[in-house]
Amino acid sequence: MDDLERLARPDGETLALKRVTGTGPTVIWIGGFRSDMEGTKALALDAAARERGWNYVRYDHFAHGVSSGDWRKATIGRWREDAVALIDNLEGPVIPVGSSMGGWVALLAALARSERVAGLVLVNPAQDFTERLMWPGLADHIRQAIIRDGEALITEEGLGEYVLTRHMFEEARSWLLLDGVIDITAPVHVLQGRKDDVVPWRHQIELTERLQGGDITLDLIAEGDHRLSSPADLDRLVEAVERNRSQAPTLS
């Protein structure tokens, strides 16, 4: 069950993934910006899947972890496309669990494959972060460099050194969600830290206003930060997923 698998993509790139075989809907871990499938939350769900008998898949985005891909070509659309391809490669209902940027990707994948999604769990989801959170937060000289040169080198604690491209920001505008209705009928459970300094908790108020069609749980965690990786946070995440699994209808 620990074997690394690779999902081939039409352009020759591959998505690296690991799975646990169990029963019921497949829980899919969708990680954040510049994170990988070996993070604390992904591994906590892996352990829960083994203990509780879940079907579970965790994977690395294009140009993340041990998946292939040129970082400069990475976009929200590409990450969405890969998530949809992974769902298409699985059988039966799925429960995407998206963290930070992965929350945006999970929402987009749920819209693309609504008939397959039995529930969504979102952890400090960063829908529209390129436009709403990241771009406004960049120093002016960085924004000017991206506009002028097409890219800028960033060094950020916890994320290391990486390039931000104008193409990523421009392409992301095709996938913005907070300007209209988000029609997802599956239940959505949002876990959000009140002390998150990356994705402010009020960002989720707008998300809940835009979501239409299904039950929504907004779980504001008083002492929670952006990582939500304390033992209590991880227990809460596992239980949110378990609740979604127990309520999931049998989908074809």
Q: What is the DSSP letter of 134?
A: I
Q: Within 10 A of 103 (CB to CB), how many other CB atoms are there?
A: 29
Q: What SS3 state is found at 145?
A: helix
Q: Say which of 100, 128, 189, 233 is annotated catalytic.
A: 100
- DSSP string across 208-225: HHHEESS-EEEEEETT--
Q: Say which of 60, 82, 128, 196 is annotated catalytic.
A: 196
Query: For residues 138-161, b (16+ Cβ closer than 10 Å) or e, as one string?
Result: beeeebebbeeeeebebeeeeeee
Active site residue 61: no
Active site residue 100: yes
Distance CA(152)–CA(141), nearest Å, equals 9
Q: Say which of 61, 64, 203, 226 is annotated catalytic.
A: 226
Burial of 252 per CB tally in 10 Å (0-12, 13-18, 19+): exposed
Active site residue 149: no
Catalytically active residues, by annotation = 100, 196, 226
